[in-house]
Amino acid sequence: MLLLKSGWVVCPSSNLNEKLDILIDDQGKISALAPQLEVDGAEVFNAEGLTVVPGLIDLHTHLREPGGEAQETIKTGTRAAAAGGYTTVACMGNTNPKLDNPLVIRYLQQRIKEDALVNVFIYGCITKGQEGKELTEMASLLAEGVVGFSDDGRSVASNAVMRRAMLYGRQFDALFSLHCEDEEICKGGAANDGYAATVLGIPGMPAIGEELIVARDLLLAEETGVRVHIAHLSTAGSVRLVREAKKRGVRVTAEVCPHHICLTEDAIMGYNTMAKVNPPLRTQADIDSIIAGLQDGTIDAIATDHAPHTSIDKAKDFVHAPFGISGLETAFSLAYTALVKTNCLTLPALITKMSLNPAKILGLKNKGRIALGADGDLTLIDLNKETIINPDNFESKGKNSPFAGKSVVGFPVVTIVGGKIIMKYDSTLDQRQFYK
């Protein structure tokens, strides 16, 4: 048993915003919530001065296994997640081989059992080999435990194939997490089709390239009645399309990444490959629309799109360097600094976007909340601790971050999964300790 004493508990689902003790039993479930609990035989952790929230949940993580172990592994990726306060992540299927058949899913499930520090759920691919031609056996993948389907990294280019996928998935009320990019319009592009790309002579990726596929997928979802989740939304037009679709009753949710809130296309100036990401960094007008979408509920979640790469790959010239930012370890601090400290969102609203809503989207009924009987997955945060982001200190193999040197506030200091402390920050040594 684990007893957390005197923490300030914030839980949007239970409407908690007060000092409480929390007891997690030997089955990893929350069994008591009250001031000044005393329990014989329990391990006691003093949470005085810390804010206790439901464990953070990432809807969009690239763990790279199998096949990309030079970039990340289950072990290093979930250490990075724990360091960032995440107790649960959902990993994408653009691995090598792709997560498109039961045998690969079964193998990955075994690797997760062996090496993961946090809960890991899996997206299966929509199409075989992510080639956009032949559908995967979704029923078989669901039987192996996938939480949804995605060809993330690319869109399903064919309208007919995407429609057939939704009609197939409708039988199981399947979730589709959709990367929205018109590959013909965006082909060869490496940055937003705007001022920075023009000055640098870099091929552009226009906003309409995202918005066309967002519109298509929303219309197909409206026709078929399936659940769709728009991944890493980045443009004002996409926000508008999702807002309008929700008003029509389309079963759509959407996520945005911290880098699309904190950075504009100006971050690529000097051919900074650390800021090369897909979808690309956009304009301040897009950021303003995204923040408005977070405030009015159009955008349901903040996800990392954690995409680790080797330093060698990111050292290539801008056009040939890979897209992606290593994001698990900085997401909360960036979001808290950019949104809560500026009074754009309250802390409970931020936790809704980073824990409660992701749990709902993935159908994880016992996660994302602090309540009797819920899973004992918790994140303890020092909201006053200021840090300077240093990618060299990342637990992830991917040190690729455009935020090096940035000052942020709000720092996860303890991560608890199933009632077990798996990450604890030691302020004396100024380093994290991990436990499996």
What is d(CA 44, CA 375) in angstroms, rounded to the nearest whole number? 18
Nearest to 153 by CA among 60, 65, 237: 60
Report the chain's terminal Cα–Cα distance, integer Å: 16
Closest C-alpha among 170, 172, 164 to residue 226: 170
177 with 91, same domain?
Answer: yes
Active-site pick, 305, 375, 377, 382 = 305
Per-chain mean pLDDT for the chain: 98
On the question of a cis peptide bond just before residue 203, with omega within 30 degrees of 0, the verdict is no
Distance CA 57, CA 411 (A): 16
Q: What span, in angstroms and rounded, lies between the C-alpha atoms of 1 and 5?
A: 13
Q: What angle do CA 59, 264, 85 make, to 5 degrees?
A: 35
As a 3-state breakdown, the chain gives helix, strand, coil percent values, each rounded to 5, of 35, 25, 40
Whether 202 and 345 share a structural domain:
yes
| Same domain flag for 212 and 318 | yes
- Asked, for residue 280, whether it belongs to a domain, the answer is yes
Residue 399 lies in a domain: no
The number of domains in the chain is 2
Scan for tokens 């304009």, then name that residue: 283
Query: Peptide bond before 97: cis, by omega within 30 degrees of 0?
Result: yes
Q: Kindly state whether residues 146 and 199 are assigned to the same domain.
A: yes
Hey, which bits of 162-316 come out as E strands?
175-178, 191-192, 204-205, 227-230, 252-256, 301-302
Domain membership flag for residue 174? yes
The single-letter code of the amino acid at 251 is R
> In the structure, what pLDDT confidence band is assigned to residue 314 with cuts at 50, 70 and 90?
very high
Please name the helix (run of DSSP H) or strand (run of DSSP E) that holds residue 89, with its range, or none: strand 86-91
Q: What percent of the chain has pLDDT over 90?
A: 100
Dump pLDDT digits (tens) for 375-397. Answer: 999 999 999 999 999 999 999 99
Domain range for 429 is 2-52+374-383+410-434
Task: Taking residues 14-20, report their average pLDDT.
Answer: 97
Q: How far apart are CA 68 and CA 246, in angstroms?
A: 37
Check if 305 is active-site: yes
Do residue 188 and residue 313 come from a single domain?
Answer: yes
Can you tell me the distance from the alpha carbon of 414 to that of 434, in angstroms, rounded to the nearest whole number? 10
Q: In this structure, is residue 401 part of a structural domain?
A: no
Are residues 93 and 159 both part of a single domain?
Answer: yes
pLDDT tens-digit series, residues 69-83 = 999 999 999 999 999
Q: What's the pLDDT score for residue 186? A: 98
Q: Do 166 and 185 belong to one domain?
A: yes
pLDDT for 217? 99
**Is residue 397 in some structural domain?**
no
Q: Are residues 290 and 303 in the same domain?
A: yes
Q: Are residues 19 and 111 in the same domain?
A: no
pLDDT in tens, 109-165: 999 999 999 999 999 999 999 999 999 999 999 999 999 999 999 999 999 999 999
Contact predicate 175/227, CB 8 Å: yes
Strands 407-417 and 420-426: antiparallel
Evaluated on CA atoms 79, 81, 87, 92, the torsion sign reads: negative
> Does 419 share its domain with 304?
no
Domain assignment of residue 84, yes or no: yes
CATH number at residue 96: 3.20.20.140
Q: What are phi and psi of 57, to 5 degrees?
A: -130, 125
pTM of the model: 0.98
DSSP 324-358: -B--TTTHHHHHIIIIITTTSS-HHHHHIIIIIHH
Does residue 391 lie in a domain region? Answer: no
Give the HSE-up count for residue 354: Cα atoms under 13 Å, Cβ half-sphere: 33
Is 118 a domain residue?
Answer: yes
The whole-angstrom separation of Cα 96 and Cα 68 is 7
Same domain, 154 and 46: no
**Cα–Cα distance, 290 to 284 (Å, whole number):** 10
Rounded to 5 degrees, φ, ψ at 112 are -65, -45
CATH number for the domain harbouring residue 7: 2.30.40.10
Residue 436 has pLDDT above 90, yes or no: no
Q: What is the mean pLDDT of residues 21-28?
A: 98
Same domain (yes/no): 42, 94: no
Q: What is the pLDDT of residues 263-311, one digit of tens each?
A: 999 999 999 999 999 999 999 999 999 999 999 999 999 999 999 999 9
